[in-house]
Chains A and B, each alone.
Chain A
């Protein structure tokens, strides 16, 4: 018998992983949560059937969503993570002794509980004393915060489910308000290749650009995400990810990373022409 997990990346493209065993399957108030074991990618988590992370390649996403902003501003003290129920983003953040507090707002407690139980690789640092967990809507949480965070990381699902509110103008505006004057907003920014994802990516970029004087996009290569080519948004009030980047300060943290390095920091902002054109087309709109 063969058991396969399949995700439709588009109506005409399927991505499949052979599964050894299904570990967990529940429906929460917000979504369906599944955890599988596989040969090639180890244990992996899906939400509403969409790939969130695998044990084998999660380091790429979590390295890039955390170390790029932290290397840009090593003085970040207070961090807000929106989404990120698997705990991977928080795990990378806790490696910085300079960070004083991490608030994580995840709408779905069942995701966190499942990951704590079944995916300790990412969830193990959620018990760090600097971490406070809030189980509520991210848009709601950020609405009442004023100049409180140096960094907001939006580690969300795609904008067609519980994550929808995290791709809106009101959300980005509320984030701007919640950030300190050096504040940085990093978000998972979808993929540029397939049309539907590219549309979300453009729409998010346009909305962020309207608020933040610095709005850049950087990339990483993630085998289990649609097209394998994934983007992140880097928006900030003052700090430029290239001009204000000081590799020496980051090296002082003495962190061993599997994907991120300070050469890549500069390189990841260099985008293919078709992606640049997509982003520039937003500027004209």
Chain B
């Protein structure tokens, strides 16, 4: 039996239950005995595995037994020096990468199309962003990866920066030239930290873009629950040999829960085993589904399901073919409108729709039937709802103008203004269109007319605007002076 067939946490929990340990510890539902409604909702099996750290079950904050073993197996499966199980979501994994590298006032080089968790991390730790404009595909209106040349310039201008942050891939499936970025950053003494929230499968599939660990990057945040089959909120953080594992653990323990959920940990354990043993086959099937769907969608007309043809050798160095990203503008519908139609008319929920595109996630759990339903629904949307291509905003990337650090802006004295009167003021808030959850405005940035117009347009098209104190997004908190 290969070591990877083991599931140490799952085995320890089953053993614990078989031993019929009498519990005078938390959780108070005592394997559901005291709370029938929990059992009715989740099932006995599930509730009985919701246990507390103890000697036989190990402890997430200081693992020496089953959890350590499971993390070692995960490290081996992901070809990392060490793997940490993260139970506060990939948000926490991303933030801990930044906390490890940056203290107050330290600079970090990063693309603007980062997840909001990155900006929030800077608010917490006081790091200062050096943004790199991501490349833009003007035809599709999507932001791409970073150009190696831009990174070289940013490093030259900011030699004291601690780290370079890379999305691998972006939400749309676009990868930067990670190997070259690692080379450039390492020779300047900077760490490379990678948001691989959408890249779990890079470690197991064939013919995939290069993974962070294989590219020699230093830290990576892996959202195993997204495409790897574990339960929502379970995630991993991987490190390479330049990172001190014990120091990383200390950083993680600053914010990680001390009541780690065994359900989440077991799901990571089982997902890792499955990915290692069956990943190659699973992602072959997923890629084939996506390729088939792309070919069929492009036959419908109006939609453009894009793929590796957008590769340009630099800002789009590689493309994740398992992503089904579809441009909708040529049929006169915003991505968010198609997203809403799919859900409301056809009962199909996709990952996101933004101004010009939709993204469908295809994964372990899909069958031909669902793919055909999606295709059938898209062809119906084309037949029944298409409009003349209309005025759409040029592209969705707006270059930020930084006035002060995210942390200073977040904690500064503030005044609230109606959004249309905010031009020229400095935002104290994070604003984004959700989906896809990438910031339009971060704390400390200048509010321009272009941003105000973008927000108006995105709202009109039905994107949920999030991040502001005012949930209707009519008002923005700005710095007092």
A residues near B (Cβ < 8 Å) are 137, 139-140, 143-144, 162, 164-165, 168-171, 173-174, 177
Contact = CB atoms under 8 A, between A and B. Distances in A.
B369 A164 contact: yes
6 contacts: A139-B369, A144-B299, A165-B376, A168-B377, A169-B345, A169-B380
A170 B376 contact: yes
Interface in B296-348: 296, 299, 345-347
Nearest to B375: A143
A174 B372 contact: no
A134 to B, nearest CB: 14
Contacts of A169: 345-347, 377, 380
A139 B345 CA distance: 17
B373 interface: yes
A173 B296 CA distance: 17
B251 interface: no
A173 B375 contact: no
B373 A170 contact: yes
Contacts of B384: 173
A280 to B, nearest CB: 23
B104 interface: no
Q: Give the interface size class of chain B.
A: 10 to 19
> Which of the listed residues A143, A144, A164, A165 has the most CB atoms from chain B within 10 Å of its own CB?
A143
Contacts of A165: 369, 372-373, 376
Interface string B345-362: 111000000000000000
B36 interface: no
Q: Which 6 A-B pairs have the closest CB atoms?
A: A170-B376, A173-B380, A170-B377, A139-B372, A140-B372, A139-B376
A44 B345 CA distance: 38
B383 A168 contact: no
Given A165-B369, A165-B373, 10 more contacts: A137-B372, A139-B369, A139-B375, A143-B296, A164-B369, A168-B347, A170-B346, A170-B380, A173-B384, A174-B379
A59 B376 CA distance: 33
A25 B384 CA distance: 44
A144 B380 CA distance: 11
B368 interface: yes
Contacts of B296: 143
B288 to A, nearest CB: 15
Contacts of A174: 376, 379-380
A139 B378 CA distance: 12
A162 B370 CA distance: 11
B346 A168 contact: yes
Nearest to B380: A173
Interface string B372-396: 1101110110011000000000000
Contacts of B369: 137, 139, 162, 164-165
Contacts of A173: 376, 380, 383-384
B270 to A, nearest CB: 26
Contacts of A164: 369
A83 to B, nearest CB: 14
A162 B367 CA distance: 11
B299 A168 contact: no
Nearest to A169: B346
Contacts of A170: 346, 373, 376-377, 379-380
B379 A168 contact: no
Given A165-B369, A177-B383, A171 B299 contact: no
A211 B76 CA distance: 55
Contacts of A144: 299
A140 B376 CA distance: 7
B373 A168 contact: yes
Contacts of A171: 376
B14 to A, nearest CB: 30
B204 to A, nearest CB: 25
Contacts of A177: 383
Contacts of A168: 346-347, 373, 376-377
Nearest to B379: A143
A138 to B, nearest CB: 9
B383 A140 contact: no
Nearest to B377: A170
Nearest to A171: B376
Interface in B222-268: none
A173 B375 CA distance: 12
Interface string B210-224: 000000000000000
A11 B345 CA distance: 31
Nearest to A140: B372
A165 B299 CA distance: 21
Contacts of A137: 368-369, 372
A168 B377 CA distance: 9
A173 B299 CA distance: 18
A162 B369 CA distance: 8
A165 B347 CA distance: 12
A203 to B, nearest CB: 10
Nearest to B370: A165
A109 to B, nearest CB: 15
A199 to B, nearest CB: 14
A137 B296 CA distance: 14
A139 B379 contact: no
Contacts of B376: 139-140, 143, 165, 168, 170-171, 173-174
A249 B347 CA distance: 43
> Which of the listed residues B347, B373, B384 has the most CB atoms from chain A within 10 Å of its own CB?
B373
A164 B376 CA distance: 13
B313 to A, nearest CB: 36
A28 to B, nearest CB: 14
A208 to B, nearest CB: 14
A52 to B, nearest CB: 19
Contacts of B379: 143, 170, 174
